[in-house]
Structure 1
Amino acid sequence: MAEPLFDMSATGRPRILILGGTTEARQLAERLASDSRYDAAISLAGRTADPRPQPLPTRIGGFGGAEGLAAFLRERRIALLVDATHPFAARISLNAATAAEMTGTPLFALRRPAWEAGPGDRWTCVDSVAEAVSVLGDAPRRVFLAIGRQEAFHCEKAPQHSYVVRSVDPVMPPLDLPDVTTILASGPFAQADEVDLLERHRINVIVAKNSGGAATYGKIAAARQLGVEVVMVERHRSADVQSVGDCDAALERIHQWLSPVKDRGV
């Protein structure tokens, strides 16, 4: 039998559920794991085959949409929901916002700021991976695909290009392309290593999602250093919820909302 996520016998400690899967979620979990004021747990979607162990009790797998998550929030008497999922996990974020509204559960998002183009960057900004593939053009190019595995299939519509695809887990089913190289790896990725990768594979364009954060920014800095074009898939706002940009701000928000009465001087 799996270990319970929360101490169901405990009283007086508000329960926090983190919807995780990002570096920031793990950082927040590490901080909450050592804070005896709260009873916290983290939930992972289960899209990675072998996720890293988390510092908090962990649930893996979907909830069954917004209604399933709402039922979980009610049954476990969750005092606060933190959406610290990937910036492109739009469906999960929408389900979180809907479930929070259905149950009256306080919610905020921990969302790292998006990258911004600077001097020397050669960005073409698009709204989707499908559009990114289309703007690569008809002439054969050497493409570094750094978007994860779930939408890599869009490249099959442009088989004239040579692709280097990097993801944590293998793309399934394998891409039906004449020239594709797969790299299985997870960040963080240093700029020097990314320069080496781009030069070794003679990459002349990168397709990336604007996920923000430092862990995967190395490829963007490497592209700037080498003058390589980046086709950047921009974010879409999926839910109108309050958000913070880093772990410290998230902790401040938690303390403001959930600190015991005695801590507020009442």
Structure 2
Amino acid sequence: MRVLILGGTGEARELARIAAGERGFDIVSSLAGRVTHPRLPVGPVRIGGFGGVEGLRTWLRENAIDAVVDATHPFAAQVSAHAAAAAADLGLPALHLRRPEWARCPGDRWTRVPDTVAAAAALATHGERVLLTIGRQGVAAFADCAGHRFVIRSIDAPTGPLPPRYELLLARGPFTFDDELVLMSRHRIDVLVTKNSGGPQTEAKILAARTAGLPVVMIDRPPLPPGAQTVGEVTDALDWLRARARQRVP
């Protein structure tokens, strides 16, 4: 069974590694190419966009794909929508692998917002020094926040407008709890702005903010396409693939 994994996450790499080692699967991974030096999964990798739903549909047909697993970042809403639409058009089984969200715990001081524009507006009621950890995309929403001083952390430098006062930290996680506490203390951070990406890889900043008593402006995930079949763990995605493979055996 030939499977396209839309990846870029640790879960996608783990799924590709395990499935590529199992008999009966031909795995192809696809990365959007938004990170300069991405961590590559096991097996064949395609890098770059498809050209919307039509381009993805054509690629799936020309490459004889039998199933699609969308294991992209929880905030890659457009990719997920395109994957769902293209698979539906071709009658292909499709699965969305999404790690569980972070849940608010005792001691958390969260302000939940739907997007980066709302996150920027929410800063009006918080302190001056902001740790911004939303990746390089979306930073432009904070360009008019002249009353704040930002520490912007991302793997690659953001493009487009930037806040008047900022310091850029180019770094790739995971970061430890101690690392995050030191960073917040050194820069005298008043508030953390982040996305609810979920998972243990970047959770240390949430734990550090809780320990330090800092407020967090938490950007909620965009919704998945209507009717999307979703699992939260790599093991569940593997079970789904195995079940699809068994259905194909005469």
Amino acid at match of 1:144: L
Structure 1 runs of 4+ with >3 Å offset: none
Q: Name the residue aligned to 1:210.
A: 196
Closer, same or farther in 2 for the Cα pair 1:137/1:31, shift >3 Å? Answer: same
8 Å Cα contact 1:140-1:162 kept in structure 2: no
Q: Name the residue aligned to 2:206.
A: 220
8 Å Cα contact 1:167-1:184 kept in structure 2: yes
CA distance in 1, matches of 2:74, 2:2: 24
Amino acid at match of 1:75: E
Amino acid at match of 1:27: E
TM-score by length of 2: 0.96
Map 1:102-181 → 2, pairs under 5 A: 102-137=89-124, 141-173=128-160, 175-177=162-164, 179-181=165-167
Map 1:23-102 → 2, pairs under 5 A: 23-102=10-89
Q: Name the residue aligned to 2:215.
A: 229
Closer, same or farther in 2 for the Cα pair 1:217/1:139, shift >3 Å? Answer: closer
Closer, same or farther in 2 for the Cα pair 1:139/1:20, shift >3 Å? Answer: closer
SS at match of 1:157: coil
SS at match of 2:30: strand
Q: Identify the range of structure 1 (134-143 vs 51-60) with the bigger mean alpha-carbon deviation.
A: 134-143
8 Å Cα contact 2:13-2:40 kept in structure 1: no
TM-superposition CA deviations, 1:208-245 (whole Å, max 9, x none): 00011110101000000000000000012131210111
In the TM superposition, residue 204 of structure 1 has moved relative to its aligned partner by: 1.0
TM-superposition CA deviations, 1:72-97 (whole Å, max 9, x none): 11111111100001101011100001
TM-superposition CA deviations, 1:152-177 (whole Å, max 9, x none): 01111111101000111011246251
8 Å Cα contact 1:139-1:160 kept in structure 2: no
CA distance in 2, matches of 1:161, 1:140: 8
Closer, same or farther in 2 for the Cα pair 1:219/1:176, shift >3 Å? Answer: closer
Q: Name the residue aligned to 1:5.
A: none
Q: Name the residue aligned to 1:10.
A: none
In the TM superposition, residue 140 of structure 1 has moved relative to its aligned partner by: 5.5
Closer, same or farther in 2 for the Cα pair 1:258/1:138, shift >3 Å? Answer: same
CA distance in 1, matches of 2:193, 2:78: 22
SS at match of 2:124: coil
Amino acid at match of 2:208: A
Q: Identify the range of structure 1 (76-85 vs 166-175) with the bigger mean alpha-carbon deviation.
A: 166-175
Q: Name the residue aligned to 2:173.
A: 187
Amino acid at match of 1:166: R
8 Å Cα contact 2:135-2:154 kept in structure 1: yes
CA distance in 1, matches of 2:127, 2:147: 5
In the TM superposition, residue 200 of structure 1 has moved relative to its aligned partner by: 0.8
8 Å Cα contact 1:18-1:40 kept in structure 2: yes
8 Å Cα contact 2:209-2:215 kept in structure 1: yes
8 Å Cα contact 1:17-1:78 kept in structure 2: yes
Q: Name the residue aligned to 1:6.
A: none
Unaligned runs of 5+ in 1: 1-13
8 Å Cα contact 2:97-2:237 kept in structure 1: yes
Amino acid at match of 2:140: F
